[in-house]
Structure 1
Amino acid sequence: MASGQNPKLVAGNWKMNGTRSFLDMVAELRVGAAGGIADTDLLVCPPATLLAAVATALEGSSIGAGGQDCHAKESGAFTGDVSAEMIADCGATHVIVGHSERRQYHGEDDAAVAAKMQAAHRAGLVAIACVGETQDQREAGKALDVVRKQVAALLDDSVTGANTCIAYEPVWAIGTGLTPTVADVAEMHTAIRETIAATIGADEAAQVRLLYGGSVKPANARELMAATDVDGALVGGASLVAADFLAIARACRA
């Protein structure tokens, strides 16, 4: 099943990195992406402390801003949490939900991630929902089944190509320098799109952008972005260096 005609999306997840000094790097990104990068949308997802400042710094540019996580509720007694509405109020257009680090370190299960994705939709944000298998699951031959189950748990009839991206992140590849083969990535992305199509139909599923995440860097981006059913990248460490992030974005059109 072919993907839709949307531009590729390259999203940078800064994780727990960045102080106001990073606004200099944001300015560098803005200059580097001036006029846009053909057939590629750019997004940076700084920590919550910087989100409003980054969104303001990027106003009028071709780069969007997104959050790294949100609470499922709109408001309430949830000390330290941030709602999807608060993220939107900062000027963001997207929010990451269900990153493997949230699942691993904060005990988020598929139901919690689905609730956060619905919260993102409620607030008018595009949800970037993360799925992926561990090394043990891959070695046991369960990778496809694990990821199909994760994807299916997120889906309802509110999901569209306009409000949802799915990011496939093999957990064992995040921050390790390891990557699956291009054939492995293509196989997984095709399985993800088929799973989405089973719920919302093939035409709408073709519009859902499927991102690959897991040690994406300038050296491997071109090959990964050319794989079947890969509609962009969720970039970790390389998104903290303006030149590397822009090089990955340019690799999408090569």
Structure 2
Amino acid sequence: MPRKFVVGGNWKMNGDKNMINEIINNMKKGPLDKEVEVIIGVPSIYLTYVKSIVPDTIQVAAQNCWKVPKGAFTGEISPAMLKDIGVNWVIIGHSERRTIFHEDDTLVADKVAHALESGMKVIACIGETLEEREAGKTEEVVFRQTQALVPAIGDKWANVVLAYEPVWAIGTGKTASPQQVRLVIASC
């Protein structure tokens, strides 16, 4: 069976209930293509609320999770906790997590592996910084990040979406052109 086309949006650390209601009401007006899987990444504090108002045709994703089921990890959320509230998707390796919080390829792979072992579906982010891009290292960086994920994913590729998310395009007003995205995808 061919994979559905996936469209995802991540709210990052933005919004309140009024904004959420406005977004969800607009999405409900829609028609959404039944052949497209729509996933929205929601701040953790709003996961349960969004799950309660979103149509079944839209999936809700957590924006992060930790690499173990439980323990003394203040502020972290485990995949088991997410599953417990009905969230089946999680975004891992987002550019801000990699750059600001210094999450390296090994940690990202550990998180992906645990999320998949816990029955989650994963949006695994890959992408280079502006400095890496300008140095001509885009393919090298994306290849390295992808290769770190391969053993973590194993035979669970049906539950993973790779998202090319160049760090240089996040919050800068710059976007990757379709040609730039195609070149990166071809190198994976």
Q: How does 1:190-201 map to 2 (within 5 A)?
A: 190-192=186-188
State the AA in 2 paired with 1:48: S
Structure 1 moving runs of 4+ over 3 Å: none
Instruction: Tell me, in whole angstroms, the C-alpha distance in 1 between the residues paired with 2:186 and 2:133.
Output: 17
Residue 41 (structure 2) aligned to one of 29, 45, 52: 45
Instruction: Tell me, in whole angstroms, the C-alpha distance in 2 between the residues paired with 1:169 and 1:73.
Output: 25
TM (normalized to structure 1)? 0.69
Shift of residue 159 of structure 1?
A: 4.2
Relative to structure 1, the CA distance from residue 38 to residue 146 in structure 2 (aligned partners, 3 Å threshold; closer, same or farther) is same
Aligned residues: 187
2:147 is aligned to 152
1:116 is aligned to 111
Instruction: Tell me, in whole angstroms, the C-alpha distance in 2 between the residues paired with 1:33 and 1:88.
Output: 27
1:81 is aligned to 76
Q: How does 1:1-254 map to 2 (within 5 A)?
A: 5-33=2-30, 36-58=32-54, 60-156=55-151, 158-192=154-188
State the AA in 2 paired with 1:25: E
Question: Which segment is superposed worse, 123-132 or 169-178?
Answer: 169-178
Q: Is the 8 A contact 1:65 1:92 kept in 2?
A: yes
Shift of residue 10 of structure 1?
A: 1.1
Shift of residue 26 of structure 1?
A: 4.5
TM (normalized to structure 2)? 0.91
Instruction: Tell me, in whole angstroms, the C-alpha distance in 2 between the residues paired with 1:27 and 1:88.
Output: 22
Residue identity (%)? 37
Shift of residue 179 of structure 1?
A: 2.3
State the AA in 1 paired with 2:69: E
Shift of residue 161 of structure 1?
A: 3.1
Instruction: Tell me, in whole angstroms, the C-alpha distance in 1 between the residues paired with 2:53 and 2:82.
Output: 16
SS in 1 for 2:90: strand
State the AA in 1 paired with 2:22: M
Instruction: Tell me, in whole angstroms, the C-alpha distance in 2 between the residues paired with 1:182 and 1:31.
Output: 28
Aligned CA-pair RMSD: 1.8
State the AA in 2 paired with 1:185: V
Instruction: Tell me, in whole angstroms, the C-alpha distance in 2 between the residues paired with 1:31 and 1:138.
Output: 39
Shift of residue 153 of structure 1?
A: 0.5
Q: Is the 8 A contact 1:18 1:46 kept in 2?
A: no
Cα deviation, 1:20-59, whole Å, max 9, x if unaligned, reads 323412541442245x32431111111110001111212x
Shift of residue 5 of structure 1?
A: 3.0
Instruction: Tell me, in whole angstroms, the C-alpha distance in 2 between the residues paired with 1:161 and 1:142.
Output: 26
State the AA in 1 paired with 2:165: E
Which segments of 5 or more consecutive residues in structure 2 lack a partner in the other structure?
Answer: none
Higher relative contact order, chain-length normalized (CA < 8 Å, sep 6+): 1
